[in-house]
Amino acid sequence: EAQVTQNPRYLITVTGKKLTVTCSQNMNHEYMSWYRQDPGLGLRQIYYSMNVEVTDKGDVPEGYKVSRKEKRNFPLILESPSPNQTSLYFCASSQLTGGWGNQPQHFGDGTRLSIL
C-alpha cells in the first residue's frame, strides 16, 4: 500500500531535549516536505526536499533541521525543542514527474508534539 509513515504519532517531552520525528514514504517520490498545523494559522511549510541531499527552507524553518540521505526518508530534528514548537506536524511527499507541482501531495497521519 502506498503510504507516508510518520513516527511517533504522539510525543510529550520537555524543553531542550533533542527529538527526531521520522518520515518514510514507499512511493519513490522525489519531493518531501514537513508542515506544522496550528489553530488559526493553517498548515505552514517548515522544510522541503527536492531529492537526496537537496533541502531548502520553507516559511517557518527556525528551530528545525532536516536531512535527506536516502530517497525514502526525511526526518525532522528539533535539537532544542521549546514550548512554541508544540504543534501537529505532517510529512508529505509527491512525484516530480511532468514538472514541479503537477502531481498531488500524499500526507502522513501526523505527529502531535507537546513540549512542556
Partner 1 sequence: KQEVTQIPAALSVPEGENLVLNCSFTDSAIYNLQWFRQDPGKGLTSLLLIQSSQREQTSGRLNASLDKSSGRSTLYIAASQPGDSATYLCAVTSGTYKYIFGTGTRLKVLA
Residues that bind partner 1 (CB under 8 A): 4, 31, 33, 35, 40-45, 48, 50, 56, 58-59, 90, 92, 99-110
CA separation for the pair 77, 84 (Å, rounded): 15
Closest separation between CB of residue 83 and partner 1, Å? 22
Identify which of residues 42 and 69 has a Cβ nearer to partner 1 in the complex: 42
Dihedral (CA of 116, 6, 52, 32) sign: negative
Identify which of residues 40 and 62 has a Cβ nearer to partner 1 in the complex: 40
Closest separation between CB of residue 20 and partner 1, Å? 19
CA separation for the pair 14, 81 (Å, rounded): 8
Dihedral (CA of 90, 94, 99, 101) sign: negative
> DSSP strand E in 52-105: where?
54-57, 65-66, 76-78, 87-94
Identify which of residues 79 and 109 has a Cβ nearer to partner 1 in the complex: 109
Identify which of residues 85 and 89 has a Cβ nearer to partner 1 in the complex: 89
CB 73 within 8 A of CB 22: yes
Closest separation between CB of residue 59 and partner 1, Å? 7
